[in-house]
Amino acid sequence: MTAQLSKKSEAWSARFSEPVSDLVKRYTASVFFDKRLALFDIEGSLAHAEMLAATGIISAADQAEIVRGMTQIRAEIEAGRFEWLLDLEDVHLNIEKRLTELVGDAGKRLHTGRSRNDQVATDIRLYLRSAIDDVSALLRALQLALLDLAEQHAATIMPGFTHMQVAQPITFGHHMLAYVEMFSRDAERMADCRKRVNRLPLGAAALAGTTFPIDRERVAKTLGFDEVCRNSLDAVSDRDFAIEFCAAAALVMTHVSRMSEELIIWMSPRVGFIDIADRFCTGSSIMPQKKNPDVPELARGKTGRVNGHLIGLLTLMKGQPLAYNKDNQEDKEPLFDTVDTLTDTLRIFADMATGITVKADTMRAAALQGFATATDLADYLVKKGLPFRDAHEAVARAVRTCVDRGCDLTDLTLEELRAFSALIEADIFAVLTLEGSVAARDHIGGTAPKQVRAAIAAARQRLG
């Protein structure tokens, strides 16, 4: 009796002579992860029903019953009272079965002119469109938090690095703006990806379209899609949009990971540039003095997780013939996890940015190490008429002398500096200060505090 009941609950039961085994049910079912598509499934079904009634394919009375039933189902799902059944395999059949229980034959007519193939493709696009909107808002929040931090420290001097060696003085505000730029590009990529997500596959049916006189443009307008997918085969089998989102998400996480790496280094007592608020850190079970930057460390690790999902989806699609194949069921879990990981990470990083304390004195002391203003001395000589390569060599010899003596360029007297070039005059000491160095880079994109503040204002205007 159980096997018979199970068999009768399947949409294709008349074709088969024996029920699906329990192992196969568990192996092929998706309901326990694709149920997060439920509200989008209902949204798509209501738009489909409205179109079916408008074109005369179903009656207005049937549409009204479908709306009534779906309204109750939505309430049950939101209240956590909906019963999800493994025997019904996926979110679509679970909802359809419940709708039929509630409204009878009207529920059975809902699937006219569509397939689960175009239905699930529509659900995923609706879900991902909403997720992209959430991600875009979170990227904006993170950028605003970083802009606040940059504004506080537009003139706070720190060493800039190349090859992890002290290179030139910059300001901490300028450094934060680099990440604002990265996340701005990420927001652009998300907006561009959304354009290709926002195309309606519904109406492609299983793969070839339908014989019913449907109005796909009407459904697209109802659901807020920009256009319809133009080929039925491609419409049901395309997952480019999901791969594209995961690629954009991987880039966001890469930027988060780079920032995490710097936060971790800067928080180390050996560097001591910043502190991160306690609520984002943990201690050690054995070493009572420890304060570990767990959030940036974990974000750095989760970047590998998101990268893995991107590779997984690319591998999933690489060998599939047209059109829909059961392989595509495996698109949802990596996509869902990418969305969850990305949104959680962005949300916590926007909050964490408000909990970063900058240790300006330590940063300044570090900027005085490593001959950070050596390039300024070379530029000074070039402006006096010396060819750059000759200026480079003169400064290199001066730096070597300072290394041997264990002093800085600013510790040399004017006479000692003139031994490297007779063009050096008393005004050199203003050039060699940290403040003079950063202030001199007074152009768009430069680290001069004036430019940093201008860049912050421009970024705020862009973000609205």
* 6 neighbors 19 (Cβ within 8 angstroms): yes
Structure tokens at 243: 């791969």
* 387 neighbors 178 (Cβ within 8 angstroms): no
User: Please, how many CA atoms are within 13 Å of residue 251, restricted to the half-sphere of its CB?
Assistant: 18
CA distances from 66 to 190, 275, 280, 438 (A): 35, 57, 48, 67
Task: Supply the DSSP symbol for 323.
Answer: S
Q: What's the CA dihedral at 253, 259, 264, 270 to 10 degrees?
A: 160
Neighbouring C-beta atoms of residue 266, cutoff 10 Å: 23
Confirm whether 437 is a catalytic residue: no
* 454 neighbors 440 (Cβ within 8 angstroms): no
* 447 neighbors 456 (Cβ within 8 angstroms): no
Structure tokens at 135: 């991600």
**Choosing from 163, 174, 232, 268, which is the catalytic residue?**
163
**Choosing from 13, 268, 284, 443, which is the catalytic residue?**
284
Confirm whether 284 is a catalytic residue: yes
Which neighbouring-strand residues pair with 147?
none
Between CA 148 and CA 154 the distance in angstroms is: 10
Catalytic residues: 163, 284
